[in-house]
Amino acid sequence: MSQPSRDRLVELRRAFHRRPEPAWREFWTTARIVEELRSLDVDEIRVGPEVLDADERIAVPDDAERDRWFQRALDAGADPEILDRLRGGFTGAMATVEGGDGPTIGLRVDIDGLPREESTDDEHAPAREGFRSEHEGAMHACGHDAHATIGLGVLEAVADSDFEGTLKVFFQPAEEAIGGGKPMAESGLLDDVDYLLAVHVGLDHPTGEVVAGIEGFLAVHQFRADFSGEPAHAGARPSEGRNAVQAMAAAVQNLYAIPRHEDGKTRINAGKVGGGSATNVVPEEAHIEGEVRGETTALMEYMRDRARSVLDGAAAMHECDVEVTPQGEAPGAESDDAVVDVVEAVAGLTDGVDSVVRTDDLGGSEDATYLMRRVQENGGKAAYVGIGTDHPGGHHTATFDVDEESLVVGVETLTETVRALARERP
Amino acid sequence: MSQPSRDRLVELRRAFHRRPEPAWREFWTTARIVEELRSLDVDEIRVGPEVLDADERIAVPDDAERDRWFQRALDAGADPEILDRLRGGFTGAMATVEGGDGPTIGLRVDIDGLPREESTDDEHAPAREGFRSEHEGAMHACGHDAHATIGLGVLEAVADSDFEGTLKVFFQPAEEAIGGGKPMAESGLLDDVDYLLAVHVGLDHPTGEVVAGIEGFLAVHQFRADFSGEPAHAGARPSEGRNAVQAMAAAVQNLYAIPRHEDGKTRINAGKVGGGSATNVVPEEAHIEGEVRGETTALMEYMRDRARSVLDGAAAMHECDVEVTPQGEAPGAESDDAVVDVVEAVAGLTDGVDSVVRTDDLGGSEDATYLMRRVQENGGKAAYVGIGTDHPGGHHTATFDVDEESLVVGVETLTETVRALARERP
Amino acid sequence: MSQPSRDRLVELRRAFHRRPEPAWREFWTTARIVEELRSLDVDEIRVGPEVLDADERIAVPDDAERDRWFQRALDAGADPEILDRLRGGFTGAMATVEGGDGPTIGLRVDIDGLPREESTDDEHAPAREGFRSEHEGAMHACGHDAHATIGLGVLEAVADSDFEGTLKVFFQPAEEAIGGGKPMAESGLLDDVDYLLAVHVGLDHPTGEVVAGIEGFLAVHQFRADFSGEPAHAGARPSEGRNAVQAMAAAVQNLYAIPRHEDGKTRINAGKVGGGSATNVVPEEAHIEGEVRGETTALMEYMRDRARSVLDGAAAMHECDVEVTPQGEAPGAESDDAVVDVVEAVAGLTDGVDSVVRTDDLGGSEDATYLMRRVQENGGKAAYVGIGTDHPGGHHTATFDVDEESLVVGVETLTETVRALARERP
Amino acid sequence: MSQPSRDRLVELRRAFHRRPEPAWREFWTTARIVEELRSLDVDEIRVGPEVLDADERIAVPDDAERDRWFQRALDAGADPEILDRLRGGFTGAMATVEGGDGPTIGLRVDIDGLPREESTDDEHAPAREGFRSEHEGAMHACGHDAHATIGLGVLEAVADSDFEGTLKVFFQPAEEAIGGGKPMAESGLLDDVDYLLAVHVGLDHPTGEVVAGIEGFLAVHQFRADFSGEPAHAGARPSEGRNAVQAMAAAVQNLYAIPRHEDGKTRINAGKVGGGSATNVVPEEAHIEGEVRGETTALMEYMRDRARSVLDGAAAMHECDVEVTPQGEAPGAESDDAVVDVVEAVAGLTDGVDSVVRTDDLGGSEDATYLMRRVQENGGKAAYVGIGTDHPGGHHTATFDVDEESLVVGVETLTETVRALARERP
């Protein structure tokens, strides 16, 4: 068996890093993945609508926004034939390697970027070494460039090895919007998976450390609240306004003040807000893009329901209306000991791994849980694996970066885990 | 004609000052007034229920509170027979001097104290000279001790003079609660009044200054909002609480933030708030005693309606209930030029008056407006007269005090005005 | 004397309406004005830096923004030679007609659009009749397209008449940002003006009504507050964030709750706010673009100082920093009776005027006050004239429009007023 | 060995229930305990200053308040000689039974009531059966009446038994104010204790259930924040006020909104608030009595520090001052397995115990942790034992009550645990 070289992995990762595409806009990324897949010894490639339940997509941007990114992908040289199959924002792909009789093993990697600016600081390696984001306002700030790379690397390595079983690699779109996990889980493609691995780099674990089974996924619910009032000239007719920004501000203050819950962790964030049009007009509209989380689905729902009361009450206080639109949502999930055992054993024998942690809390949310639950409901088993990487900035910040050494560690650990699982008989 | 001496006025005022009684608790004060009236040459004395429309009283304290003040008045030596007629909080009085054929002139003075602590500072004359409030938590901080004194002084002086007409002096209770004006206005006793004078000392005018006709009364509406939620142990069960203090705090912030109105002055105050029972219990109840005002009744109503939206929305945000109980309310009113002319002319001739201001804005509210409007609706005329007095602290503050020299000025100005009005033929 | 035809005025107004340019971006507008001026019998034309004190400009957009609008003007066919003189955002112009010996009369019109979307509704005439804004996100929603047109119309009419005096028409940029009035006032060009007229259409007055002297300008101060905190993952590290959106929301709630002032009108508006980057990141930045106003400069300063306390305290509450940047500011001003008299008399004789109102309150702010005060300080006199126009939507709203009949009324009323003033001898 | 009868325990408990005395006011309660102790075969009795480190008391009420409760105790027939030793609010007691050579075992019970009204509902047994609180505004709503009874019961039973060791029962005052634990811990009297038991009834465990070792004590910090501003007449001079109620309300909203912490449980409560003096006066003062908690001391300190920022910032927003006074504080603590083992074993054999739970989370705070840590620091061991009791209302609510059957269970379980521990050799 041969594994793709470090240079090849670095080259791939930097290519992805240069072209971060947020949720449902991963046109160039998907096309590039498919082009790579075609160069490998892969048995089946599916893209876009073939890997998603179209009815379950959420947080899909509007036509104009999708067209803008589609065109950008085209301009950047993506294969028009592939792009054409992604129209409407049906991004993502899946590839299969058939290795003969044996269990079916899934590997899920996510591929989307984040809608945030990347640092231009010279301390930031992508800026210094010339592979900073070429899409202003977008950035791979959570390592999904590394994930896509690892997915391709594992496919290549497994395809080149003696492997008895079936490997399906899921290149999932729209994780950051919690939008891609559910439609992919409900595509039917996971129904024959015996073992599912999901992977994430970093998470405050250093290069050389592997977490065999990450736990503590918070159930999450994202929403958008649109407040609408009545505009008025702020100097001449203040009483005629119904001030949507006041309503929004009252909501923000009281959302964070939802009572803590004795049964476990809860979270609330009004992560992006805005409102109003000009200093001298009483604001007629305002909005909150926010999220709630809970250690369990019940705790998430407690927060969601309380948040609703706050939003409605805040609007009423200022005689405004509010429309609350659910965005992404993801349940919790647990890694199975049977798979964690294998990851732990394999990682302990892998070059470059100097520390194996059996389990650690994520503290965040992930829509990989949809895929894990789907597999588990069908009698399969799953684990969420952490591949440590030294990252200078925190996840989702402007200076996030991955130590490229960890690409090699990730590919090797997961390749060997896939092969070891293939030797298990469920 | 003879006017009561300065010493007598000072003695009366200090007696009242020592025993401030808030709204509908003026038992001792009323009894003392009646005792004084009996020593004068007065034709008719009415007390309590005889001077009020019982159905119109508002903000009447509960039995326990009334009993406490009743007993305190009894203990302080008030005449039990008089007190007995005031049972139930029917405080206040009216006295009539019949001077033969001529117009009927009313003089309205208010007699209640405020529920606030008086300063113990030596700079504060009542503290230094030993006539500070003997009722902890209550104080004559708005000069109604002077008003009661002036009412008695004018009665005495007019009764001793050649006076052709009828003088009715109204000793009105519960002005500070905006509770006594309406029931007294609707008692029927004002229906034959041709000219009504109301009086206030101070208002930032110095001793020696008289304002012939005060204007700019703000219409006012007072309310009490009671928020009720659900208690819970703040450590063990925070999620089970519905926090009335959070609701109240949200309301306070947003009440003050009701949009200003382009048509004129508006006011809002959450003057007294409270809630909760112990640091470790999620508060199940909270309340606001507040008020709104407007330059016109319409503006007051704008504020009242918006406040209602805020209160309801704030409760809803925290899944609490709120009950809003209207307390006092008073309309606007205007002084009539015909009466202002007389006051202005008389004041210009009065000893001790060195400055006559024809008119000035009150900027506050007064339920004398009920009496003024009643008289005006029946074809009579009214004016609200200001008697300047040097006051070290502002109205309603712990160091408010009146310059007793102004008692003499007030009695003389109003006595001569009453006599001059009697010479008018409406 | 001949006046420009209704058709010509309508054509001009619609041309301006199609290309609204916000403050300091009026490249196409200025160039078009200059081209029109060149076709008239005008004695002097000054543009850009020649009509502004460069040091006094405020709220000037950054290079990229200016370049964008500059290029757009170029693309739309504006004369490159004129544009070149406006580089750096030195927009605006002034033209002079010398009519022989006589007083110098100024007419100030403002020319900028607003940064807001225009309605696409068929009820909205510009949409229906095809002259809706071609600049997405910008709109002539306050009638400055009509003002520019009236300025040109009056110039043409006066130039063609027998007129003894000097007319200077000031085409002022950046009124909406309260940014152009001061630099134009301090250009020195107003120092010889004997009579200044400023003009505004609409203001809730119907077509056919003229207000001879508008009063009640509120002093205004605009500001931008930038809150900065610390980002953190909202699920995994909430405690490490310092939440700029919470600080902003606390500020909004408490800004509107700044106590009303007994001395007169005050205003506050947080007209445009925003913050945060993604739902799952604790917001590290947020901002408020707001304004305060007062009936007097002192009242405006009271609001400004209180607002500063609120902004600082709100940031401190959430361990954030706040930077407050003053934007535009304008004082109050009063119309002079001498000029108002003339406008009133002229308007009464003008065709199409069926109602003359001597004076009315603006209730808003205007940086024409800088020009008016400059003239008055030099011994001249000024009036701010209202030309009624039926406008379906309110000022600054998406459906604002002017009744083009009022263009004729405006040009005629002001032309005759200019000529009448020329006959006065100051 | 004999145990006190059920009737005697019920009688004692009802006597205590009738006379609830809040923190540092337990004059009657302490005197009654001492009288009972004198009737038992007890070797040493210490009261008041002899059981407390006087310098460590916190949240002690002022002289007037202490005198009022002292007098009430005297009026209710408490022994004046004992009361005299408690002057200054040095309440509480300790009694020792010497049973010969053996370990020293401590039992800590707390004895204070809560400052809240008791239900008068007929469903509430104390109301129905005539032993409701005789102190209006105070109530045994947390079962400390049962604790004091159990302390006496265990003393009596152990004294009557063959017992080799020393038993010290600590009757601790001021637990609810988190004020008595620390001074008693630092009295020196715990320094020779080998095993310490603390006890609490209820906590949502039914009669017949025993929790061998309660865990999950939250570290707690209580505070009082006093906001001071400037009063002003709300109608006439609103701008001159600096509104302490607005500051308080802003603080309340933002205190609850302190970010959750990823390291564990945090709590915040503004349990009791108030402010202002009258509806028409801008409030010059307001206050919050609140608390923060954390799963660890570090988490409590995080909340305390953030709360301080909020309080300071809120005051600054409204140009007010705030003084923050720490009230009680208690650390966390853990039960030792060695003692929990014994309790678990004994409980399993005790009549009336039908369910033994080894451990459960408190979710609240307790200053028993001071005593437990003191013993543990000296090499001893400790456990916090829960005695289930059916309680109709939650702890700290108006309808809390204990099932008196649990008194018998508590005395028997703890007596046998004390005797079993005496047989251990540390």
Q: Is B142 annotated as a binding residue?
A: yes
Residues A147 and A175 sit within 8 Å (Cβ to Cβ) = no
Does residue C1 surpass a pLDDT of 70? no
According to the annotation, is A147 in a ligand binding site? Answer: no
Question: Is A64 in CB contact (< 8 Å) with chain B?
Answer: no
In this prediction, residues B358-382 reach a mean pLDDT of 91
| C-alpha–C-alpha distance, residues D63 and D69, integer Å | 10
Q: Is D144 annotated as a binding residue?
A: yes
Chain C neighbors of A273, CB-CB under 8 A: 245, 248-249, 273-276, 283, 286
- Predicted confidence band of residue D210 (pLDDT cuts 50, 70, 90): very high
Residues of chain D contacting residue A255, judged by C-beta atoms under 8 Å apart: 257
Cβ pair B316:A318 closer than 8 A: no
Q: For B106, phi and psi rounded to 5 degrees?
A: -105, 145
Portion of chain B with pLDDT greater than 90, in percent: 87
Q: What is the pLDDT of residue B298?
A: 93
- With an 8 Å Cβ cutoff, is C271 touching chain B? no
In contact, C196 and C384? CB cutoff 8 Å: no
Using 50, 70 and 90 to split pLDDT, how confident is the model at C425?
A: low
pLDDT in tens, C308-319: 999 999 999 999
Q: For residues D223 and A396, which has the higher predicted lDDT (pLDDT)?
A: D223
What pLDDT is attached to residue D425? 60
List the single residue in A with minimal CA-CA distance to C365: A235
Pair of tokens at residue A49 = 């609508």
d(CA B244, CA B281) in angstroms, rounded, equals 11
User: Taking CB atoms and an 8 Å limit, are A237 and C394 in contact across chains?
Assistant: yes
* Interface contact A313-B316, CB threshold 8 A: yes
DSSP for A321-339, please give it.
Answer: EEEEEEEEEE------HHH
Q: Which of residues 391-420 of B touch D (CB under 8 A)?
A: 394-397
For residues B28-44, give the mean pLDDT: 95
pLDDT above 70 coverage of chain D, percent: 99
Give the whole-angstrom CA distance, residue B259 versus residue C257. Answer: 9
Helix, strand, coil share (%) of chain D residues, nearest 5: 35, 25, 40
User: What pLDDT is stored for residue A219 in this prediction?
Assistant: 92
Q: How far apart are CA C295 and CA C278, in angstroms?
A: 41
B257 touches chain C (CB under 8 A): yes
**How remote is the C-alpha of D33 from its chain's centroid?**
17
Bridge partners for D269 per DSSP: D291
Q: Mean pLDDT for chain A? A: 94
**Partner C contacted by B325 (CB < 8 A):** no
D171 bridge partner residues: D93, D109
Residues 6 or more apart whose Cβ sits within 8 Å of residue B371? B106, B108, B170, B172, B181, B184, B185, B190, B196, B198, B382
CB atoms near residue B358 (< 10 Å): 16
Q: How far is D275 from chain B (nearest CA, A)?
A: 5
Q: Is the ipTM of this complex over 0.85?
A: no
Nearest CA in chain D to C249: D254
DSSP string, C101-146: SS-EEEEEEE---BSSPPP--TTSHHHHTT---SSTT-B--SSHHH
Half-sphere exposure of A94 (CA within 13 A, CB side): 22
| Tokens matching residue B364 | 């506050």
- What is the pLDDT, as a whole number, of residue B425? 60
Binding site of C, by residue number, is 142, 144, 176, 200, 396
Q: Which amino acid is at D80?
A: P
| Residues from chain B contacting residue A236 (CB–CB below 8 Å) | 262
Domains and CATH numbers, chain A: 6-217+332-424 (3.40.630.10), 219-330 (3.30.70.360)
Q: A216 CB near a chain D CB, below 8 Å? A: no
Residues 342-371 of D with CB under 8 A from A: 363
How near does any CA of chain A get to the CA of B267, in Å?
13
- C328: nearest CA in chain A? A279
Least confident of A135-149, B53-67, B134-148, B251-265: B53-67
Mean pLDDT of B41-59: 92
Token pair, residue B124, equals 């504060």
Contact D280, B292 (CB under 8 A): no
What residue of B is the nearest CA neighbor of D300?
A: B235
Q: What is the pLDDT of residue D38?
A: 96
pLDDT band at D247 (very low <50, low <70, confident <90, very high): very high
Using CA atoms, how far apart are residues C33 and C41, in angstroms rounded to an integer? 14
For chain B, the average pLDDT equals: 94
Q: What is the pLDDT of residue C426?
A: 54
In tens, the pLDDT along D316-366 reads 999 999 999 998 888 888 899 999 999 999 999 999 999 999 999 887 788
Judge whether residue D426 has pLDDT over 60. Answer: no
With contact defined as beta carbons under 8 Å apart, do D379 and D387 qualify? no
When CB atoms are compared, the residue of D241, D262, D316 closest to C309 is: D316
Q: Min CA distance, A285 vs chain C (Å)?
A: 10
Q: What is the mean pLDDT of residues A282-306?
A: 95
pTM over 0.80: yes
What residues of chain B lie within 8 A of the CB of A309, using their CB?
A: 316-319
Nearest chain D residue to B317, by CA: D253
Query: Is residue A292 classed as helix, strand or coil in its secondary structure?
Result: strand
Residues 69-128 on C with a CB inside 8 Å of A are 114-116
What does the buried/exposed string (b/e) look like for C124-133 if buried means 16 or more CB atoms within 10 Å of the residue's CB? bbbbeeebbb
pLDDT digits (tens, 9 = 90+) for B206-226: 999 999 999 888 999 999 999
The response to whether A124 counts as a known ligand-binding position is: no
Residues of chain B in contact with residue C268, where contact means CB-CB under 8 angstroms, are 260
> Are C283 and A291 inside 8 Å of each other by CB?
no
Buried b (16+ CB within 10 A) or exposed e, D114-128: bbbebbeeeebbbbe
Greater pLDDT, C419 or C216:
C419
| Average pLDDT over chain C, rounded to an integer | 94
Q: How far is CA A256 from the centre of its chain?
A: 25
- Cβ-based neighbours of B31, under 8 Å, separated by 6 or more: B73, B78, B79, B82, B83, B86
D298 touches chain C (CB under 8 A): no
Size of interface B-C (CB pairs under 8 A): 28
- Centre a 10 Å sphere on the Cβ of residue C54 and count the other Cβ atoms it contains: 12
Nearest chain D residue to C316, by CA: D313
> If you average pLDDT over every residue of chain D, what do you get?
94
A2: pLDDT confidence band, cut at 50, 70 and 90? Answer: low
Nearest Cα of chain D lies from the Cα of B279 at a distance, in angstroms, of 4
Which phi and psi angles does C10 have, rounded to 5°? -65, -40
- Give yes or no for A278 touching B (CB within 8 A): no
| Gyration radius from chain D CA atoms | 22
Residues of B in contact with D278 (CB under 8 A): 114-116, 176, 271-272, 289, 396
Question: Residue B103 in contact with residue B194, Cβ under 8 Å?
Answer: yes
pLDDT in tens, A358-383: 999 887 788 999 999 999 999 999 99
Q: How confident is the model at residue D233 (pLDDT cuts 50, 70, 90)?
A: confident
